[in-house]
């Protein structure tokens, strides 16, 4: 099961302006394959109507403790019984206070008290309310009770003030939920990665680059976070949004990429080289734009350092993973690269399958042999590759046949 797909999530919407964002959250959750059941409090219904949530979730919306639609008339019990989590978003200061005191005077609080699934709250309130000693106390108590708190964020607030208390954006809440449901198999691991192309300048306005989209690297970075890892992504120029939870260091050239990698490397357990690093760079970079002369010109190129081979060649290297995009003889070249660069794992693909697109077909090469993965989206493949890395990092006695 993917981290969100097939999950039953009870989304409770309480009375804050951020309730309008809950509608988008329902849409994102449903798109990710979740079965969403909305509980709308009286306050929440003042901001967004039940009709919106019912239309977006495709399920009835629940508001009343005495609602007779549930066969046994016990929505407060049945709603949570097969749920994977209750997420309260937005969670007002009031509902947080009532939760920590175990009140049960409406459907939501009764449901939370009677639940047998995890409870997550995404606070949303004015900055003064968030910083009030009563709220600080209540949030500390929530943590003590094992409740997970997503956010809040700081920034502009609906009241015009600026500070801590904004609810996380729906995309960020979805990302946090993915991590929450993720395998946790990379928890406590630090992963340093490269992704995207490099850009090797010729003069201030021109350079040599390649068509790497960065999609596979970015999907892997996110998959590592979902599996619980801390991720530093050293990225060449790409047009992709930064995945939630990933620390990105933006670079242009291979030399900058190498420097950023070695800066991030201390303490890393895993290094994944996904970047399509340019093999050569111009020997000299012109200070000013080169003018055309009508004559032919010669560009002298010098080799770039092989970042992955250098990291793998360190005396005490992290677990090193490389990528091999080949146009033929995949087995021969990918396995050759693995042994040549002394890598623990190589992800190989034929370029005609993956470049620039959203899907790919890859084969994993490790000490145990070759493992072809079924064709899938880069996002799905990323999750499988991370799972494979996590398996290979287990002590030898725990490694299964499948790696
Ligand atoms: O040898 P080749 O370039 O095909 O190897 C590809 C793998 O090596 C990729 O994982 C890529 O990120 C990494 N690499 C690197 N630095 C280079 C060239 C490739 O880290 N200069």
C-alpha 273 – ligand 1 centre gap (Å): 7
At residue 163, the pLDDT reads: 85
Does the pLDDT at position 87 exceed 50? yes
C-alpha 160 – ligand 1 centre gap (Å): 49
With cut-offs at 50, 70 and 90, classify the pLDDT of residue 158.
confident
Query: Is the bond leading into 152 cis (omega within 30 degrees of zero)?
Result: yes
At residue 401, the pLDDT reads: 46
Query: Is the bond leading into 73 cis (omega within 30 degrees of zero)?
Result: no
At residue 304, the pLDDT reads: 98
Mean pLDDT score, 252-271: 98
Ligand 1 atom closest to the Cα of residue 308 is 20
Distance, in Å, from the CA atom of 15 to the CA atom of 222, rounded to the nearest integer, reads 32
Q: Which residue has the higher pLDDT, 304 or 161?
A: 304
With cut-offs at 50, 70 and 90, classify the pLDDT of residue 402.
very low
Tell me if domain 8-181 and domain 190-401 are identical in fold.
yes
At residue 21, the pLDDT reads: 97
Q: Where are the domains of the chain?
A: 8-181, 190-401
C-alpha 271 – ligand 1 centre gap (Å): 12
Mutate which of 323, 341, 348, 385 for ligand 1? The one with the most ligand atoms within 8 Å of its CB, which is 323
Does the pLDDT at position 173 exceed 90? yes
With cut-offs at 50, 70 and 90, classify the pLDDT of residue 399.
low
| The token pair that represents 386 in the structure block | 């991370």
Mean pLDDT score, 202-213: 95
C-alpha 247 – ligand 1 centre gap (Å): 22
Does the pLDDT at position 186 exceed 70? yes
Does the pLDDT at position 94 exceed 60? yes
With cut-offs at 50, 70 and 90, classify the pLDDT of residue 1.
very low
The structure's pTM equals 0.85
Per DSSP, which regions of 264-310 are E strands?
270-273, 280-282, 301-303
With cut-offs at 50, 70 and 90, classify the pLDDT of residue 363.
very high
Sign of CA dihedral 245, 246, 249, 252: negative
User: Is residue 191 within 8 Å of 268, Cβ to Cβ?
Assistant: yes
The CATH superfamily label for domain 8-181 reads Flavin prenyltransferase-like (3.40.50.1950)
Mutate which of 195, 214, 274, 275 for ligand 1? The one with the most ligand atoms within 8 Å of its CB, which is 275
Distance, in Å, from the CA atom of 99 to the CA atom of 88, rounded to the nearest integer, reads 11
Per DSSP, which regions of 226-385 are E strands?
230-235, 246-250, 270-273, 280-282, 301-303, 319-326, 345-350, 359-360, 362-366, 369-372, 376-377
Reported as a single tens digit per residue, the pLDDT across 111-153 is 999 999 999 999 999 999 999 999 999 999 999 999 999 999 9
Kindly report which listed range (13-27, 69-83, 303-317) carries the lowest average pLDDT score. Answer: 69-83
With cut-offs at 50, 70 and 90, classify the pLDDT of residue 353.
low
Enzyme catalytic residues: 159
The closest residue, in CA terms, to atom 17 on ligand 1 is 306
Per DSSP, which regions of 18-104 are E strands?
35-40, 85-91
With cut-offs at 50, 70 and 90, classify the pLDDT of residue 396.
low
| DSSP run (H or E) holding 24 | helix 19-31
C-alpha 233 – ligand 1 centre gap (Å): 16
Q: Which 8-state DSSP code applies to residue 69?
A: -
Computed over every residue of the chain, the mean pLDDT equals: 93
Reported as a single tens digit per residue, the pLDDT across 35-66 is 999 999 999 999 999 999 999 999 999 999 88
Ligand 1 atom closest to the Cα of residue 279 is 21
Query: What's the CATH number of domain 190-401, 3.40.50.1820, 3.40.50.10300, 3.10.28.10, 3.30.565.10?
Result: 3.40.50.10300
Mean pLDDT score, 27-35: 97
- Residues near ligand 1 (Cβ within 6 A): 194, 254, 273-275, 277, 304, 306-308, 322-324, 337
Ligand 1 atom closest to the Cα of residue 254 is 21
| DSSP run (H or E) holding 202 | strand 200-203
């Amino acid at each position: 099961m993917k981290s969100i797909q097939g999950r039953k999530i009870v989304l409770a919407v309480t009375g804050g302006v951020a309730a309008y964002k809950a509608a988008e959250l329902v849409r994102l959750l449903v798109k990710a394959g979740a079965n969403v059941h909305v509980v709308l409090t009286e306050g929440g219904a003042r901001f967004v109507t039940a009709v919106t949530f019912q239309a977006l979730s495709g399920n009835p919306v629940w508001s009343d403790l005495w609602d007779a639609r549930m066969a046994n008339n016990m929505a407060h019990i049945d709603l949570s019984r097969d749920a994977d989590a209750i997420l309260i978003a937005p969670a007002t200061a009031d509902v947080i206070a009532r939760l920590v005191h175990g009140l049960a005077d409406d459907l939501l609080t009764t449901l939370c008290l009677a639940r047998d699934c995890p409870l997550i709250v995404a606070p949303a309130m004015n900055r003064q309310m968030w910083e009030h000693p009563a709220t600080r106390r209540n949030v500390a108590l929530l943590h003590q009770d094992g409740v997970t708190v997503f956010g809040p964020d700081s920034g502009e607030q609906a009241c015009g003030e600026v500070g801590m208390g904004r609810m996380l954006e729906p995309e960020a809440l979805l990302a946090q939920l993915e991590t929450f449901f993720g395998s946790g198999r990379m928890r406590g691991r630090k992963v340093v990665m490269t992704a995207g192309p490099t850009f090797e300048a010729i003069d201030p306005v021109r350079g040599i680059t390649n068509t790497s989209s960065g999609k596979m690297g970015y999907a892997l970075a996110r998959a590592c976070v979902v599996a619980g890892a801390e991720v530093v992504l050293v990225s060449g120029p790409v047009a992709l949004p930064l995945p939630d939870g990933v620390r990105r260091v933006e670079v242009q050239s291979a030399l900058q990429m190498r420097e950023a990698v070695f800066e991030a490397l201390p303490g890393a357990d895993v290094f994944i080289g996904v970047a399509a690093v340019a093999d050569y760079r111009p020997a000299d970079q012109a200070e000013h734009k080169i003018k055309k002369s009508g004559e032919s010109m010669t560009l002298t190129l010098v080799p770039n350092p092989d970042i992955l081979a250098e990291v793998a060649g360190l005396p005490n290297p992290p677990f090193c993973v490389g990528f091999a995009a080949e146009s033929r003889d995949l087995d021969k070249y990918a396995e050759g690269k693995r042994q040549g660069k002394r890598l623990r794992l190589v992800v190989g693909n034929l370029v005609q399958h993956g470049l620039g697109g959203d899907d790919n077909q890859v084969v994993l090469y490790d000490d145990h042999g070759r493992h072809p993965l079924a064709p899938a989206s880069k996002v799905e493949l990323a999750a499988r590759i991370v799972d494979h890395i996590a398996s290979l990092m287990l002590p030898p006695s725990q490694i299964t046949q499948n790696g």
